[in-house]
Structure 1
Amino acid sequence: MDLLEFEKWALREFGIDLSAYKSNQLHRRIQSLMSRVGANTVDEYVKMLKSDIKQREKFVDFITINVTEFFRNPDIFQELSKILKKELSQNRRPLKVWSAACSTGAEPYSLAMTLNEIAPGLNHKILATDLDKNILEKAKKGEYGETEIKNIKNDYLDKYFSKIDDKYVVDKKLRNMITFKKHDLIIEGYESGFDLIVCRNVVIYFKPEIKDSIYSKFSKSLKQGGFLFVGATESIYNYKEFGFDKSSTFIYKKI
């Protein structure tokens, strides 16, 4: 079996469409992982994945790129906060938000804190999705170590977290704002009616046609006047094709 055949096998076995990823980057990542776990050939690695649940979890985690942090790129997050504050000052109502590819939950919890600061008392709803169900279980718990909370201001830590042993645990009020759900951006349908979609540092790994498809579906999922917030390396140069206007460097408004 070669790596192209492995992609087809992974789609059948895991439901992950690896053909959507940039081939060179993807194949380097798979070969790097194979080397780490001591598999000399693709066939050896497939045998390992079939028989060892821990290796299966490691593969899904590695491929789905679970890298995140609270208030990632704080300056850009502050820009989002200003835009949302302006919108909510004009029309004070609960917002429906989607944190796509949410990883361990730092992003949806950051959004929950932001919304609660801007417009407390409103019943904001955040859908947080990811491909990796194990990562989602960690996200649901809302427990983080010292290094994971480094971007959170002290007053937010005091207000929204409890220190239990060596963990910082997210307040129940924030957790109640968020629904965590398994979802594949490439092969599954999208909900609609969102005021804000946040999808950062994910589509950079996909082929151009897959990126365009995702941005088009995001646009359809947003209400008119809704916002799309992307990663600091993901400017959308053809944003007008998807019905967006540019509100800020990495924030786009559906017109």
Structure 2
Amino acid sequence: MHEIEISELRRLTEVIKLYHNYDFTNYAISSFKRRVSRILDLYKIPSVDLLIKKIREEDGFFNTFLEELTVNVTEMFRDPSFWREIRDQVIPNILLNHNQISIWHAGCSSGEEVFSMAILLKEMGIHHKAKIIATDIDRAILDRAKSGEYQLKHMDLNEKNYIRFQGKSSLKDYYKEDNGKVYMDKSLVNNVSWREHDLVRGVVFNKFDLVLCRNVMIYFNQTLQNVVLKKIHESLFRYSYLCIGSKESLIWCEIANKFIVVNNEEKIYKKIKD
């Protein structure tokens, strides 16, 4: 496999933009390159030019490409101390002034974060007070999230996270097992609206008390992070909360002064200015 040139990646992004109206121009170059390289390996495609040809000419291949490109390895109750903070501090604070809570999972991937939130809300006895919107750029992964089907082999890690989160029962209470798969209890997500949405090019569509956009911006360069964070800022009520990934930061971005740090360790911020 030859080393992928920047010029090849540029041609690839131009074709994607032209034929499929997705803009990857400002993706973090090292991450984009690594993922494209993985796709070439995976599908035994000898060059970027042949990948471009496949994207242009093969019906349905672009969806496969998109799924591989935006794949997120995710788990339930990832970073258990973060989820404890959400349960013990953030949500009680929101409910001091509101009877209802609106939550946006931006870049929800295969839905583990959404189910974690649903379980947390149920155990707090406030599941019925929440309205949740879960979005992702990838239709196929959204369908997977919606189905609530996961591999049984992954549940061991999820259960360990749940125990460290100090949940009220056992994660097993929330799913049924069958033939190496688990099926999450569908009633957990009866208040969730699943939507296809491009964080970069999509419009601001609602206002929320809490936005989780975790481990999404690590794939964007600084220009793109600014674009996305401005939209998220607009999507929050004043004094509402934003949570980002543990390796992400708001410090340098253009809207940094419109937030205060609530918990630096867990990367939780509060909007203080419109």
The TM-score with structure 2 as length reference comes to 0.85
Q: Offset at 1:12?
A: 2.2
SS at match of 1:97: strand
Number of aligned residue pairs: 255
2:71 match = 65
Find 2:44's aligned residue among 38, 42, 45.
38
Q: Offset at 1:92?
A: 5.3
Find 1:215's aligned residue among 204, 229, 233.
229
Q: Offset at 1:129?
A: 0.5
* 1:73-88 alignment runs, 5 A limit: 73-88=79-94
- In terms of mean alpha carbon deviation, does 14-23 or 52-61 score higher? 52-61
2:139 match = 133
Question: 1:195·1:222 contact (CA, 8 Å) conserved in 2?
Answer: yes
1:246 lines up with 2:261 in the alignment = yes
Question: 2:13·2:24 contact (CA, 8 Å) conserved in 1?
Answer: yes
Assess, with a 3 A threshold, how the Cα gap between structure 1 residues 145 and 193 changes in structure 2: closer, same or farther: same
* 1:44-63 alignment runs, 5 A limit: 44-53=50-59, 55-63=61-69
Q: Report runs of 4+ in structure 1 exceeding 6 Å deviation.
A: none
* 1:166-245 alignment runs, 5 A limit: 166-238=180-252, 241=256, 243-245=258-260
Find 1:151's aligned residue among 158, 163, 179.
158
Question: 1:193·1:222 contact (CA, 8 Å) conserved in 2?
Answer: yes
C-alpha distance in structure 2 between counterparts of 1:162 and 1:215, whole Å? 38
The TM-score with structure 1 as length reference comes to 0.90
Find 2:103's aligned residue among 97, 101, 107.
97
Assess, with a 3 A threshold, how the Cα gap between structure 1 residues 184 and 235 changes in structure 2: closer, same or farther: same
C-alpha distance in structure 2 between counterparts of 1:242 and 1:61, whole Å? 35
> What is the RMSD of the two structures over their aligned residues, measured on CA atoms?
2.2
- In terms of mean alpha carbon deviation, does 95-104 or 9-18 score higher? 9-18
Cα deviation digits, residues 113-150 of structure 1 (max 9, x gap): 11222243533111011111111111111011223323
Amino acid at match of 2:181: K
C-alpha distance in structure 1 between counterparts of 2:182 and 2:55, whole Å? 34
C-alpha distance in structure 2 between counterparts of 1:137 and 1:89, whole Å? 31
C-alpha distance in structure 2 between counterparts of 1:8 and 1:75, whole Å? 41
